Chain A
Amino acid sequence: MRPADDSLTRTAHPALAIRDLIAGYEPGLPIVRAATLDVQRGEILALLGPNGAGKSTLLRAVAGLVRIEGGQVLLDGDDITGRAVHRVVQTGVGFVPQTDNVFTRMSIDDHLRLAAAALPRGARAARVAAMYELFPDLSAARRLTAGRLSGGQRQMLALARALLPAPRVLLLDEPSAGLAPRVVETVWARLAEARALGVTLVVVEQNMRAALAIADRGCVMVEGRPRLIAPAAELASSAEVAQLFLGAR
């Protein structure tokens, strides 16, 4: 088992590089404390850890939704630290929040057309069509408002909305939370398809086993910074991880 040493995870051109990041909701009260992490192009990285470890705050800080007080966020080497969330999205980082991730009074079609608005006019229709192809259940209900969709359908819509602009990196905050096991399987399958399309994925997940089953690597966060980073299989079989950070099952 390797400790979360910056030098061990850094490569020449990571898709997403987080350097000594300090972020939080109140000035002077950081939740993320000098976090350093590299995410390699095309991989699925599972962010694990106990409640309050700062996993979701780290994702939200990268996405531009939480105040960054120090450190850097680099996307393919470009500094995107502190940019407004819409700029971060336009630069190539998608984000799927855990809750309130759809507009309940808007139709599926409205969601996708809105997400396509930042693309060049000529590319919009093709991307919307591509998302309907990837998510056929959404295509069948495209006039339905999101408020009438099931939890699983909403999660699919949130995924489709985030994938539509073809992000280089997609951040997902507990995508399986509150979903039935069969729906969770579908969510993981879609994420695997997204990875196959070349998207780099960072997934915050409470369900360690499920996350490590599809992830390439796992990162265990404790007290606002990565404590352990290792291949998923290694973490999944680690009694130390289960006992120390995730609670033995």
Chain B
Amino acid sequence: MSEEHHINYVKVWAWLVGLLCVSVAGPMFEIKVVTLITAFGIAGVKAYMVAKNFMHINIAPRFVAYMVTTGLVFMLLFFAGAAPDVMEPKGENWFKPGWHEVDIQGAEKELEEGIFFKDQVDH
């Protein structure tokens, strides 16, 4: 089905490995933003390169790219809908025991003492 495309696969691989090295080196700068960019930005770039050069998504009929993009968009949608609840460790009159610190004994103690409202917590 695919035509003969003149991609040098080894060259693509070399770039991918190079990017891998950069992403491993990123945290060594100890700057959070840099780490985030090198880790996830590069992951995005690598994924795109694999999809384009190895999976030939740009040669496949357009609908394939739409299918894949739709899946990704739905995942963003899911995250957007669930994150406001799941990532919120406390509200007006409640908090999630065990979320402000991963301390199993502490969380159990709070539950035993029936501490469910933030006023009751003396942190």
- Do A and B make up one complex? no
